Amino acid sequence: MKTCPYCKAQITDKAGCYRCGFDFNSLINCQLQSKILYHQALQKYHCGDLKSAQQLVGTASFFCKNKINSKLQLMIQLKRLYYE
């Protein structure tokens, strides 16, 4: 994150925005939770538990929608389509 998601000011401090005072802590926590869930989903995917992996990556996408979560969701859906 290089700019404030609220006012688009350049970020200089990790705690909050100097211009609007937006607190980044909740946003950072959401991104961290998303990463944790993504890695758990990836482990489930490699173990073959596709249903759990899909649920975990869906929850990860709820916290932080990004390309890597979307790609894993697509991989799981394709694997479930062809192998289940």
Q: Environment class of residue 68 by beta-carbon count within 10 Å: exposed (0-12), middle (13-18) or buried (19+)? A: middle
DSSP lists the bridge partners of residue 16 as 23
pTM, to two decimals: 0.79
Cα 7 to the chain's mean position, in Å? 22
pLDDT confidence bin for 13, thresholds 50/70/90: low
pLDDT tens-digit readout, 21-71: 888 888 889 999 999 999 999 999 999 999 999 999 999 999 988 999 999
Q: Environment class of residue 19 by beta-carbon count within 10 Å: exposed (0-12), middle (13-18) or buried (19+)? A: middle
Q: What is the mean pLDDT of residues 2-29?
A: 85
Quote the tokens at residue 58: 């869906």
